Chains A and B, each alone.
Chain A
């Protein structure tokens, strides 16, 4: 009787998860498994009759026969590391400022700082594209007005500036997330720790190193991990700003995947790129977790 009641209770609890599992399975698992499956085939939407099973043929082509892949992979790594790095630094700095008692109108600035993140990505990217125009873009006009006209250029057409510019736009869009999360973590650090440090004569750097940073380390790890995943697989910002150009200078794996799949219709090959992105992220994040865990265990 007790067993039957326990079973009924378990079913009662878990039946609410069934819908979620079905949704996750349908929306995530099925495309993932289908993507793996298609990556094993030579499949071109224009030649449906020429579909054939290659096993790892697409991956062999990707790693050994496609010179564009390594360039694009390198771009993805640089884009991810630079974006996440600067987002964290900017997010941390702004969170520390917004948590400081010396900053007036804190609540107002806490709201304003969210704006880049709230604006839809498409609106954001297209606005930046117009602002960065060489002749009529707002950025160049302001530079000229301030007497820095020699710095004005085609930010998205100059090969030297296009990649840093795209990184800048991505950082501007994403750093508010770091700010908000780190700010929340800062408010949870007990105030008496700072008072005790002040009494002990600790300077600002010592306070940050021994009290502030340990207090936000855990959450920092989580948001950096999330942003590595989001940034490495980011498509929309680069696609809307430059389309991966000029001359593939801003081409990253997601835009390359899109081109192969939806411009050249090589669905099998595009899926192999998708599988690579997925596996690379799983391995990288897994390694990251393992490293962090072993450091924490050592402490």
Chain B
């Protein structure tokens, strides 16, 4: 009897395995951050996946929604184990490290022979390329702007958004006040990210550095070197210090904030200004009338104007077993009609033939983002994980008053030099 049971179990296992081997269904795993619960663009993307499945019987799309920090780590871990998704959504700054690790597919030939390549600006292809090879298609390209509450500005008599660091500090001071009459400050002028694990923190720090006329790194004779002086870094640290300690325009306990805390503080009206991206538009549904009071402007300048130009890239996993089908899905998803649907809400599309459509050009919320593209700079093209951590650690040292801005600037420069030694080796 026991032998009969064993025979039945083994037969069932063989049957199940043979069905899966001979089945015509190909499952494509897509890893991205687009959550249909919170984002209208993500819901549109889900609908497009369903449409693709209907138009392509035999293809099943398994969509995994993972937040950015975890998406990075999951891609690294699975890649180290020789597995991973078919399609991977990436921040542009991940391209150098993922290509060096060999976990994303080189699609240079595919891209060069793709007829739609011409519709993506060179500045976005620059991000998708590393060392002459292309690792994906840019899907979203959006600069950061100064997001602010127009109604708060009106209530304190500020007519225009600040255009310089000094104006920003002055306006933040005026905007920090008690609005309820209970004697306690409940609106703060400015907020920023400084969590040591934040992706957003370095994306805010770097534009401030660029605005001093500096670069994070420069390449001379194929050797990476720091692109800033101690004075330039000190100026940036001093700005952060002034906002928190000298002017007291940041919410208490905001040292160490990540993007969730910062975005939420702006949404609930606790802060009047922050640097932010076009995704904030997905709060329109929930924010209601308050959303109409949100305005955007180019980031205030110092020696020059600069902002972070974020390009997100969708690539094919190196260990995908269905690369041709994945490429087919990717090029379909990022074709003009489809991109217009899944970037209509809270993202800016990378295609010029999509961004020129009236739905983007006439959307007043998107206007400052479109105007800021000319000031946009992408991340430096080298692995940034260690230097991001260094940047945020030194910033926290200043904010927690463990170091002066000058000491932090010196240590930042020294620390970056040490990191670049191993990168240059």
Enumerate chain B residues within 8 angstroms of A48, measured Cβ to Cβ. Answer: 101-102
Contact A157 B256, beta carbon cutoff 8 Å: yes
Determine if B279 is an interface residue (Cβ-Cβ < 8 Å): no
Determine if A85 is an interface residue (Cβ-Cβ < 8 Å): no
Determine if B203 is an interface residue (Cβ-Cβ < 8 Å): no
Q: Mark A232-254, 1 if CB is under 8 A from B, else 0.
A: 00000000000111111000000
Q: Mark B197-229, 1 if CB is under 8 A from A, else 0.
A: 100000000000000000000000000000000
Contact A47 B400, beta carbon cutoff 8 Å: no
Interface size on B, residues (CB 8 A): 32
Contact A247:B76 (CB < 8 A) given known A46-B97, A48-B102, A264-B385: no
Contact A262:B77 (CB < 8 A) given known A47-B100, A245-B196, A246-B396: yes
Which chain A residue has the least Cβ–Cβ distance from B268?
Answer: A136
A133-162, CB < 8 A from B = 133-135, 153-154, 156-159
Determine which residue in A48, A135, A244, A264 has the highest number of CB atoms from chain B within 10 A of its CB, and name it.
Answer: A135
Enumerate chain B residues within 8 angstroms of A247, measured Cβ to Cβ. Answer: 196, 393, 396-397, 400, 402
B76-94, CB < 8 A from A = 76-77, 79-80
Enumerate chain A residues within 8 angstroms of B265, measured Cβ to Cβ. Answer: 135
Size range of the interface on A?
A: 20 to 34
Contact with A263, one of B255, B389, B402 (Cβ below 8 angstroms): B389
| Tally of contacts, chain A with chain B, CB under 8 A | 74
B208-260, CB < 8 A from A = 251-257
Contact with B100, one of A46, A244, A246 (Cβ below 8 angstroms): A46
Enumerate chain A residues within 8 angstroms of B251, measured Cβ to Cβ. Answer: 134-135
Contact A46:B256 (CB < 8 A) given known A135-B270, A246-B196, A265-B76: no
Enumerate chain B residues within 8 angstroms of A243, measured Cβ to Cβ. Answer: 195-197
Contact with B400, one of A153, A156, A159, A259 (Cβ below 8 angstroms): A159
Determine if A267 is an interface residue (Cβ-Cβ < 8 Å): yes
Determine if A45 is an interface residue (Cβ-Cβ < 8 Å): yes
Which chain A residue has the least Cβ–Cβ distance from B99?
Answer: A46
Q: Mark A32-60, 1 if CB is under 8 A from B, else 0.
A: 00000000000001111010000000000
Shortest Cβ gap from A236 to chain B (Å): 13
Contact B77 A245, beta carbon cutoff 8 Å: no
Shortest Cβ gap from A251 to chain B (Å): 10
Contact B253 A158, beta carbon cutoff 8 Å: yes
Which chain A residue has the least Cβ–Cβ distance from B197?
Answer: A243
Contact A263 B400, beta carbon cutoff 8 Å: no
Q: Mark A193-204, 1 if CB is under 8 A from B, else 0.
A: 000000000000
Which chain A residue has the least Cβ–Cβ distance from B184?
Answer: A149
CA distance A214 to B76 in the complex (A): 51
Shortest Cβ gap from B247 to chain A (Å): 19
CA distance A244 to B397 in the complex (A): 15
Contact A157:B97 (CB < 8 A) given known A243-B196, A246-B400: no
* Seed contacts A46-B383, A262-B76, A267-B80; 14 additional CB < 8 Å A-B pairs: A46-B97, A48-B101, A134-B251, A154-B252, A157-B253, A243-B197, A244-B196, A247-B196, A247-B400, A263-B73, A263-B389, A264-B385, A264-B389, A265-B97
6 examples of A-B residue contacts, CB within 8 angstroms:
A153-B253, A157-B253, A262-B73, A263-B73, A263-B386, A267-B80
